[in-house]
């Protein structure tokens, strides 16, 4: 049941009305005049800044800094870190309390070594298909009890240390947006990119009654 | 015990009829019963609490069924109290809608976040013309739809030989969801040409993050704030969740806080390791569920009390669309008869079926199979194993860890004593994660 045909704001009149409501509440006089001029003169420019409903606000700076990083490094922020710095971050930021002083001892999961096929470790770092995803996960989710406290630099450093400890990069390699994106994970080829989806595709296991 | 209840109910009705009103103690006295005994059953429902928020009969005690901790759970140290998975008590339910408090929930590694809706926002960003942040109030001012969809864990059927239908199929439910179509929100922000996937992020500690193909996002995905007529409950994602009809449960991101439009699948934490295996066949299948059905009555653990008239009833569903036909066999699949669909028959929703049946006291094997609107037929266990090129032992060994989508036919055996048991033969499980 596709929802593409649902009723929405289509008439120009509606958009105009919504924008003038915004103008009253948000915009100062001069800007309002400009917005009105844009609306009457060039609908295209107006479309870029105002949603069809007129609802929603732009992201704040803080919100823009809270990002999801792409597997190949898209949206990695500036910054850098090395394994040596990362070892210190690991202790200073309390990662070791759960993962052990060298990332091996626990009491929680080991971050060094492990093989997914033997289930000796449920989350081997080596098995992540993309290195920037590890940065992304640590930045948004760790430390487990206080997620989000690491700075971008600290995250580069601790990622470098974990990659080094797992034998994926050399000890002295500096991790930045560029170098991290270039790291090739050993398990990368085990994964096939998920295929795309359309409503017409038949997928998965079904017996078709038709030949 | 059961008899007494039924008598009391009939008696209450008569009392009400005599008085031409509700069943007051006086009315009951007129009907010749013991007012004191009956009044006792009414009084709790007269309490203000019960007037404000209706209660079930004290004779209805159905609850979800709590699952044990998985092995991986036991090995982790977590700062939050563990919240276990709980299954839907399928055998006790009627119709197609799962009452929300009985709807299955998965284990929550990060606890259930306590979100103030006045502070909660949804941001839509990435490859869009204008990244925007919407408040809950704004989301409610956008066009919306109400749709009935089933929701199932990819790991449903964790133990195909479990004793009861709750044990075999309880990680699923069906609700009426109300919310903004994601296509409306994507129009609000304006898609850029490079857009081909979306990534949805949750507000819980684990920031559950899931990639969804844009084709699906634009098709029927909902950003839902309502479930069965009320706000989505906290353990289902209050105040906002994604509903991805027909897809594996893990796509239906709860406590939704961000949609990022991107140009490739992100394969983030929840999309590999435990959740995606290096098996190309499994990966290709990791979206929507095939045709499925299961008999809930009579089902494992129940007992037929008498020979004669019974009704076989159950649920059928498909991630590809509506159920076209359900067939029921009472002889283990040798012959099938078409079941009645009790309606409503909706796409990607649980559909109730039934077949009147006379039990003559002989052994019987009851099973159902679903044909969906795309002419896809539910497989037998043997057909399923053949498709994956696995022996039965290997199949059971990989059910939990890898395959998911276990939609093969479920037989229930009725013994001469009326006892109903799982009709799948015992198996020597071969654990081979490479299979």
Q: Which residues of A touch B378 (CB under 8 A)?
A: 207
Report d(CA A194, CA B252) in Å as an integer: 17
Considering the domain architecture, whether residues A171 and A102 belong to the same structural domain is answered as yes
Size of interface A-B (CB pairs under 8 A): 208
B360-394 confidence digits (pLDDT tens): 999 999 999 999 998 889 999 998 888 778 888 88
Q: What are phi and psi of B99, to 5 degrees?
A: -55, 130
Q: What is the DSSP letter of B101?
A: G
Binary contact (B130, A74; C-beta < 8 A) = no
Considering the domain architecture, whether residues A151 and A70 belong to the same structural domain is answered as yes
Does residue A38 surpass a pLDDT of 80? no
Whether residue B273 and residue A122 make contact (CB cut-off 8 A), yes or no, is yes
Provide the pLDDT for residue B59: 93
Whether the predicted pLDDT of B433 surpasses 80: no
3-state secondary structure of B76: coil
pLDDT band of B351, cuts 50, 70, 90: very high
Residue A162 lies in a domain: yes
Which among A133, A144, A205 has the least Cβ separation from residue B379? A205
Q: Give the pTM.
A: 0.86
DSSP A167: T
Q: Which of A8-17, A183-192, B137-146, B147-156 has the lowest mean pLDDT?
A: A8-17
Q: Is residue A198 part of a domain?
A: no
How many whole angstroms separate alpha carbon B115 and alpha carbon B136?
12
Q: Note whether A75 and A177 are same-domain residues.
A: yes
The enclosing H or E element of B150 equals strand B145-152
CB-CB under 8 Å, A48 with B129: yes
Lowest mean pLDDT among B16-20, B41-45, B151-155: B16-20
CA distances from B363 to A1, A123, B144, B327, B369 (A): 42, 48, 51, 20, 20
- Report if residue A205 sits inside a domain: no
Residue A211 lies in a domain: no
| Residue A142 sits in the same domain as residue A153 | yes
Residues A117 and A136 in one domain: yes
The answer to whether B15 and B31 are in contact (CB under 8 A) is yes
Q: Is residue A139 in a domain?
A: yes
Given a cut of 70, is residue B24 above it in pLDDT? Answer: no
Q: Nearest to residue A116, comparing CAs of B277, B394, B280?
A: B277
Residues A77 and A178 in one domain: yes
Of the pLDDT bands very low, low, confident and very high (cuts 50, 70, 90), residue B72 is low
Q: What is the pLDDT of residue A172?
A: 95
| A106 pLDDT tier (thresholds 50, 70, 90) | confident
Q: Which residues of B touch A117 (CB under 8 A)?
A: 433-434
* A56 to B268: CB separation less than 8 angstroms, yes or no: no
* Smallest CA–CA distance from B200 into chain A, residue: A68
User: Which domains does chain B carry?
Assistant: 1-61 (no CATH), 121-276 (3.90.420.10), 292-422 (2.60.40.650)
Label residue B312 by pLDDT band (50, 70, 90). Answer: very high
From chain A, the residues in CB contact with B405 under 8 A are 204-205
3-state SS, residue B188? helix
And the tokens for B94?
């009627």
Residues A33, A89 share a domain = no
Pairing of strands B364-372, B412-414: antiparallel
| Residues contacting residue B312 through CB under 8 Å, at least 6 positions apart | B295, B297, B298, B328, B330, B339, B354, B355, B356, B357, B366, B368
The pLDDT of residue B157 is 86
Distance CA B207, CA B209 (A): 6
Exposed, middle or buried, A113 (CB in 10 Å: 0-12/13-18/19+)? Answer: middle
ipTM of the complex as predicted: 0.82
Q: Inter-chain contact B138–A6, Cβ cutoff 8 Å?
A: no
> For residue B285, what is the enclosing H or E element?
none
Would the pLDDT of B56 be above 70? yes
What is d(CA B1, CA A36) in angstroms, rounded to the nearest whole number?
A: 75
Q: Where are the alpha helices (DSSP H) in B82-150?
A: 136-139
- Mutate which of A120, A124, A197 to disrupt the B interface (most B C-beta within 10 Å)? A197
- From A8, A199, A208, residue closest to B184, measured CB to CB: A8
Into how many domains does chain A fold? 2
Contact state of B371 with A209 under an 8 Å Cβ cutoff: yes
Rounded CA gap, A42 and A48, in Å?
11
Domain assignment of residue A98, yes or no: yes
Are A47 and A71 members of one domain?
no
Same domain, A98 and A136: yes
Closest residue by Cα to residue B285 from B410, B201, B178, B406? B406
A130 touches chain B (CB under 8 A): yes
What's the domain range around A2? 1-58
Is A10 an interface residue toward B (CB < 8 Å)?
Answer: no
Which tens digit of pLDDT belongs to each residue from B281-303?
555 556 888 899 999 999 999 99
Residues of A in contact with B384 (CB under 8 A): 205
Six token digits for residue B300: 């494992």
CATH number, domain of A92, equals 1.10.760.10
Look at residue B339 in the predicted model and tell me its pLDDT. 98
In tens, the pLDDT along A125-173 reads 888 889 999 999 999 999 988 999 999 999 999 999 999 999 999 999 9
Residue A202 is assigned to a structural domain of this protein:
no
pLDDT, chain B, mean: 86
CB contact under 8 A, B133 and A122: no
- Report d(CA A137, CA B265) in Å as an integer: 15
Q: In what order do the strands lie in the sheet with B340-341?
A: B292-297, B308-317, B351-359, B340-341
Residue A89 has pLDDT above 80, yes or no: yes
Dihedral angle at the C-alpha atoms of B239, B243, B249, B254, nearest 10 degrees?
Answer: -20
Q: Do A45 and A75 lie in a common domain?
A: no
Identify the residue with better confidence: B237 or B280.
B237
Q: Given pLDDT bands bounded at 50, 70 and 90, which one contains residue B87? A: very high
Q: Which is more confidently placed, B204 or A32? A: B204
pLDDT of residue A116: 58
Least CB-CB distance to A59: which of B131, B188, B290?
B131
Chain B residues touching residue A159 (CB < 8 angstroms) = none
Give the number of other CB atoms < 10 A from CB of residue A11: 8
Q: Minimal Cα distance from A53: which residue of B? A: B188
Q: What share of chain B is helix, strand, coil (3-state, %, to 5)?
A: 25, 30, 45
Number of CB atoms found within 10 A of residue B77's CB: 12
Q: Are B409 and B379 in contact (CB under 8 A)?
A: yes
Average pLDDT over residues A36-57: 64
B173 burial class (0-12, 13-18, 19+ CB within 10 angstroms)?
A: buried
Residues B362/B416, Cβ–Cβ less than 8 Å: yes
Kindly state whether residues A67 and A149 are assigned to the same domain. yes
CB-nearest to A192 from B219, B283, B347 is: B283
Quick one: A67 and A53 in the same domain? no
Determine, yes or no, domain membership for A77.
Answer: yes
Residues in Cβ contact with B355 at an 8 Å cutoff, skipping those fewer than 6 apart: B311, B312, B313, B328, B337, B339, B340
């Amino acid at each position: 049941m596709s929802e593409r045909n649902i009723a929405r704001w289509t008439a120009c009149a509606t958009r105009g009305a919504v924008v003038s409501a915004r103008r009253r509440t948000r915009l100062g006089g001069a800007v309002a005049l400009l917005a009105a001029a844009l609306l009457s003169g060039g609908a295209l420019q107006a479309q870029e800044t105002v949603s069809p409903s007129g609802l929603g606000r732009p992201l704040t700076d803080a919100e823009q800094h809270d990002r999801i990083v792409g597997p190949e490094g898209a949206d990695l922020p500036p910054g850098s870190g090395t394994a040596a710095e990362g070892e210190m971050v690991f202790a200073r930021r309390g990662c070791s309390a759960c993962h052990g002083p060298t990332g091996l001892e626990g009491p929680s999961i080991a971050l060094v070594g492990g093989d997914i096929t033997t289930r000796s470790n449920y989350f081997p770092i080596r098995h992540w298909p993309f290195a920037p995803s590890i940065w992304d996960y640590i930045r948004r989710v760790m430390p487990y009890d206080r997620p989000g406290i690491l700075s971008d630099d600290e995250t580069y450093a601790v990622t470098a240390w974990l990659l080094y400890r797992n034998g994926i990069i050399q000890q002295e390699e500096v991790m930045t947006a560029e170098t991290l994106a270039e790291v090739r994970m050993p398990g990368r080829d085990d994964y096939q990119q998920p295929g795309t989806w359309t409503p017409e595709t038949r997928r998965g296991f079904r017996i078709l009654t038709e030949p | 015990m059961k008899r007494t209840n039924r008598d009391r109910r009939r008696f209450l009705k008569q009392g009400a009829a005599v008085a031409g009103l509700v069943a007051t103690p006086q009315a009951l006295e007129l009907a010749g019963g013991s007012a004191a005994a009956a009044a006792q059953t009414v009084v709790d429902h007269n309490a203000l609490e019960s007037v404000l928020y209706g209660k079930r009969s004290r004779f209805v005690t159905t609850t979800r069924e709590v699952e044990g901790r998985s092995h991986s759970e036991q090995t982790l140290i977590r700062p939050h109290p563990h919240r276990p998975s709980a299954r839907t008590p399928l055998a006790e339910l009627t119709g197609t809608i799962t009452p929300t408090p009985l709807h299955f929930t998965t284990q929550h590694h990060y606890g259930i976040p306590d979100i103030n809706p006045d502070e909660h926002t949804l941001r839509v960003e990435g490859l869009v013309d204008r990244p925007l942040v919407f408040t809950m109030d704004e989301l409610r001012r956008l066009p919306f739809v109400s749709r009935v969809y089933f929701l199932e864990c990819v790991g449903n059927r964790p133990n195909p030989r479990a004793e009861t239908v709750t044990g075999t199929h309880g990680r699923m439910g069906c609700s009426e969801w109300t919310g903004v179509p994601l296509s409306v929100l994507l129009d609000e922000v304006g898609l850029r040409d490079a857009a081909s996937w979306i990534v949805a992020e949750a507000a819980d500690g684990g920031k559950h993050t899931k990639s969804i193909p844009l084709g699906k996002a634009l098709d029927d995905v909902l950003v839902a704030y309502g479930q069965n007529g009320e706000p989505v409950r906290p353990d289902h994602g209050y105040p906002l969740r994604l509903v991805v009809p027909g897809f594996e449960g893990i796509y239906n991101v709860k406590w939704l806080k961000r949609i990022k439009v991107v140009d490739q699948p992100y394969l983030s934490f929840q999309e590999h390791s435990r959740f995606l295996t290096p098996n190309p066949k499994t990966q290709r299948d990791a979206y929507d569920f095939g045709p499925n059905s299961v008999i809930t009555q009579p089902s494992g653990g129940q007992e037929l009390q008498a020979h004669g008239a019974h009704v076989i009833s159950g649920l059928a569903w498909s991630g590809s669309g509506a159920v076209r036909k359900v067939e029921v066999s009472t002889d283990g699949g040798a012959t099938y008869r078409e079941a009645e669909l009790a309606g409503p028959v909706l796409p990607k929703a649980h559909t109730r079926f039934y077949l009147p049946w006379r039990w003559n006291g002989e052994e019987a094997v009851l099973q159902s199979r679903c044909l969906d609107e795309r002419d896809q037929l539910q497989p037998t266990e043997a057909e399923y194993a053949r498709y994956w090129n696995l022996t039965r032992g290997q199949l059971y060994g990989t059910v939990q860890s890898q395959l998911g989508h276990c939609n093969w036919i479920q037989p229930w055996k009725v013994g001469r004593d009326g006892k109903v048991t799982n009709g799948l033969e015992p198996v020597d499980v071969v654990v081979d994660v490479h299979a």
